[in-house]
């Protein structure tokens, strides 16, 4: 997962990590870092060609983010359910995107969409010795 730049800027790292714990997710790795535009383009390569790709990658490179590997039974789907719909305006009450998201682009957090992509995204940020 990632806590996106707007949520970091607004001081929501603490509240979001409290929700992570509340949801029963175990933090296996975590760091505060910043993506270069090149990194952001690589991370979101699957969306290259979509109309929002430029806006998304510029936004994700606009400031520090928190990246983390979360562990839980069926973690990918559990996390997606827990954070709510992509558009915070449509996210269920009490979900992280409903609570801390601003709009469709600035929706507070990222979640992987499959176990395969979760492994690729984890490797993007963390080496083996950074995982506990
Ligand atoms: P999700 O993050 O829920 O898996 P997607 O993979 O479809 O959603 O999109 C990746 C990210 O791109 C979203 O989290 C959001 O920040 C941004 N995004 C998606 N659709 C739009 C859109 N129509 N306009 C602006 N940004 C968007
Ligand atoms: Mg996605």
Q: What is the pLDDT along the chain (132 residues), one digit of tens a residue?
A: 999 999 999 999 999 999 999 999 999 999 999 999 999 999 999 999 999 999 999 999 999 999 999 999 999 999 999 999 999 999 999 999 999 999 999 999 999 999 999 999 999 999 999 999
Domain boundaries, the chain: 2-127
H or E stretch at 32: strand 26-33
- Count of CB atoms situated within 10 Å of the CB of 9: 13
Token pair for 17: 């990590």
Distance of CA 101 to the CA centre of its chain: 12
C-beta 113 within 6 A of ligand 1? yes
Residues with CB under 5 A from ligand 2 (ion): 113
DSSP symbol at 74:
T
Widest Cα–Cα separation across the chain? 39
Q: Which of ligand 1's atoms lies nearest the C-alpha of 86?
A: 3
To test the ligand 1 pocket, which listed residue (2, 52, 106) has its Cβ within 8 A of the most ligand atoms? 52
Distance 23 CA to ligand 1 centre (A): 23
DSSP symbol at 46:
G
Look up the pTM and report it.
0.98
Active site residues: 110
Distance 127 CA to ligand 2 centre (A): 23
- 2-127: which CATH architecture? 2-Layer Sandwich (3.30)
Closest CA to 118 of 72, 85, 55, 84: 72
Distance 126 CA to ligand 2 centre (A): 19
Closest residue to atom 25 of ligand 1, CA basis = 105
Check: CB of residue 10 under 8 Å from CB of residue 30.
no
C-beta 86 within 6 A of ligand 1? yes
Closest CA to 4 of 80, 57, 70, 82: 57
């Amino acid at each position: 997962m990632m806590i996106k730049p707007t949520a970091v800027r607004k001081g929501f790292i603490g509240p979001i990590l409290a929700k992570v714990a509340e949801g029963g997710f175990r933090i296996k790795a975590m760091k505060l870092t910043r993506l270069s535009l090149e990194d952001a383009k690589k991370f979101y390569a699957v969306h290259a060609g979509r109309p929002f790709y430029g806006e998304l990658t510029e936004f994700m490179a606009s400031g520090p983010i928190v990246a983390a590997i979360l562990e839980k039974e069926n973690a990918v789907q559990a996390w997606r359910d827990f954070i709510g719909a992509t558009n915070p305006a449509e996210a269920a009450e009490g979900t992280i995107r409903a609570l801390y998201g601003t709009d469709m682009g600035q929706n507070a957090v990222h979640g992987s969409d499959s176990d395969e992509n979760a492994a690729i995204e984890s490797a993007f940020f963390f080496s083996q010795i950074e995982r506990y």
